[in-house]
């Protein structure tokens, strides 16, 4: 039994180490893929299954009655998740009943094949239907968090490039457009937001309104602070380059403080992995042979007595 425990712990540690090594090698490949320009798709391709699925979900969403009170909030969440299609809310409303029916049907088939009791089958179908109804919204929220992290990660580089562009003589509008062009491959999320802001400016919106829309679309706290700095600079006529450079220094200091805070929390977070993973294997390696020797030698002596 003790040998089996040692082998199991060794396999778990080896598997975790191999998984971490493979994931670390994949990070470099993903960074290179981010910097590689995306090839243009050829025109005239036939309709794929994805397009057919989207059309089906959109038609179901058109038939489902929508709540006028929750529709603006849903559109705002979808925009923050990166779905700017005007039919995104309708597709989302059609996706919910589809996933609910699919999960309920899957639970029904599984319960029928496993010959589950009627009460358990009803509760299983209800739980699966609830999961299918909540899954699309949870996916949207997960996508929002992932996109906000990507925007916050690319903001320092975009801000440094903005300082260079402003100091070279460009205005705020041209600076945003130039940053969106230069960082498109490395940070496409924040570049897409800058591009939308430039389109709003070309459509005739005021700069302050376009900046506030940028902050509302992203929902990132650092972007809101940058928008506040740009609006105040535009209102009071101060130096844009100096304001951006000061804000860049502020973001670097805040990032350094957050990194120090995470480093300070690391010792507390390591208590549970050490207690549940390291110490048991250490006890098995150090005390295990002694216990086995005591059992082999003491049990025969006790039986002879």
Q: For position 244, which CATH number holds?
A: 1.20.81
Is 166 part of a structural domain of the chain?
A: yes
Is 1 part of a structural domain of the chain?
A: no
Helix axes 71-80, 207-218, angle to 10 degrees: 90
Residues 159/179, Cβ–Cβ less than 8 Å: no
Q: Please provide the size of the chain in residues.
A: 305
pLDDT of residue 126: 92
The tokens for 153 are 């990660």
Distance, in Å, from the CA atom of 89 to the CA atom of 76, rounded to the nearest integer, reads 10
Q: For 121-141, write each residue's pLDDT tens digit.
A: 889 899 999 999 999 999 999
Radius of gyration of the chain (CA): 28
Is 250 part of a structural domain of the chain?
A: yes
The tokens for 164 are 């260079």
Is 211 part of a structural domain of the chain?
A: yes
Is 11 part of a structural domain of the chain?
A: no
Is 3 part of a structural domain of the chain?
A: no
Letter string b/e over residues 195-208, b meaning 16 or more CB atoms within 10 A of that residue's CB:
bbbbebbeeeeebe
Which of 40-54, 271-285, 287-301 has the least mean pLDDT?
Answer: 40-54
Distance, in Å, from the CA atom of 261 to the CA atom of 264, rounded to the nearest integer, reads 5
N-term to C-term CA, the chain = 27
Q: How many domains does the chain contain in total? A: 1
Is 17 part of a structural domain of the chain?
A: no
Which helix (H) or strand (E) is 126 found in, with range? helix 118-167
Domain that holds residue 236: 147-267
pTM for this structure?
0.72
Give 51's pLDDT tier (boundaries 50, 70, 90): low
Q: For 158-193, write each residue's pLDDT tens digit.
A: 988 998 999 888 888 889 889 999 888 888 999 999
Give yes or no for residue 281 having a pLDDT over 50.
yes
Give 46's pLDDT tier (boundaries 50, 70, 90): very low
Is 260 part of a structural domain of the chain?
A: yes
């Amino acid at each position: 039994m003790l040998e089996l425990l040692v082998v199991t712990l060794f396999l778990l540690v080896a598997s975790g180490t191999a998984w971490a090594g493979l994931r670390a090698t994949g990070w470099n490949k993903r960074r290179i893929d981010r910097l590689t320009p995306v090839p243009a798709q050829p025109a005239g391709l036939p309709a794929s299954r994805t397009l057919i699925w989207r059309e089906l979900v959109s038609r179901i969403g058109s038939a489902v009655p929508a709540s006028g009170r929750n529709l603006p909030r849903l559109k705002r969440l979808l925009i923050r998740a990166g779905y700017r299609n005007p039919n995104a809310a309708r597709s989302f409303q059609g996706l919910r009943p589809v996933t609910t029916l699919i999960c309920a049907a899957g639970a029904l088939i599984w319960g029928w094949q496993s010959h589950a009791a009627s009460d358990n089958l009803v509760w299983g179908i209800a739980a699966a239907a609830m999961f299918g109804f909540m899954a699309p919204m949870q996916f949207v929220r997960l996508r929002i968090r992932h996109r906000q992290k990507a925007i916050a990660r690319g903001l320092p580089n975009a801000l440094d490039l903005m300082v260079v562009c402003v100091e070279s003589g460009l205005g705020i509008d041209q600076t945003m457009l130039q940053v969106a062009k230069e960082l498109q491959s490395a940070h496409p999320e924040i570049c897409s937001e800058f591009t939308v802001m430039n389109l709003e400016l070309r459509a005739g919106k005021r700069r302050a309104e376009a900046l506030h829309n940028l902050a509302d679309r992203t929902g990132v706290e650092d972007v809101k602070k940058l928008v506040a700095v740009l609006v105040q600079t535009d209102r009071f006529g101060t130096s844009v380059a100096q304001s951006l450079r000061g804000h860049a220094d502020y973001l670097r200091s805040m990032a350094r403080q957050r990194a120090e805070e995470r480093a300070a929390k690391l010792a507390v977070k390591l208590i549970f992995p050490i207690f549940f993973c390291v110490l048991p294997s250490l006890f098995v390696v150090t005390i295990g042979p002694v216990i086995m020797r005591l059992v082999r030698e003491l049990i025969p002596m006790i039986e002879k007595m």
